[in-house]
Amino acid sequence: MSSPQQIAADTVVGIHYTLTLDSGAQVDSSVGGEPLLYLHGHGNIVPGLEAELTSHKVGDRVMVTVPPAKGYGERQPNATQAVPRHAFPPGETPRPGMQFGIRDEDGDVVPVWVAKVTKDEIVLDFNHPLAGENLHFEVEVVSIRGATQEELRHGHPHGPHGHDLH
Ligand code: ZN
Instruction: Give me the mean pLDDT over the 50-64 stretch.
Output: 98
In this structure, whether the domain defined by 80-125 belongs to CATH 2.40.10.330 is answered with yes
CA 16 to centroid of ligand 1, rounded, Å:
21
Domain with CATH 3.10.50.40 in the chain: 11-72+130-154
Buried b (16+ CB within 10 A) or exposed e, 31-63: eeeebbbbbbbbebbbebbbebbeebeeeeebe
Q: What is the pLDDT of residues 8-55, one digit of tens each?
A: 999 999 999 999 999 999 999 999 999 999 999 999 999 999 999 999
What is d(CA 84, CA 76) in angstroms, rounded to the nearest whole number? 22
Confidence of residue 70 (pLDDT cuts 50, 70, 90): very high
Domain with CATH 2.40.10.330 in the chain: 80-125
pTM (predicted TM-score): 0.82
Q: Are the C-beta atoms of 133 and 71 separated by less than 8 Å? A: yes
CATH code of the domain made up of 11-72+130-154: 3.10.50.40
CA 50 to centroid of ligand 1, rounded, Å:
20
Confidence of residue 161 (pLDDT cuts 50, 70, 90): low
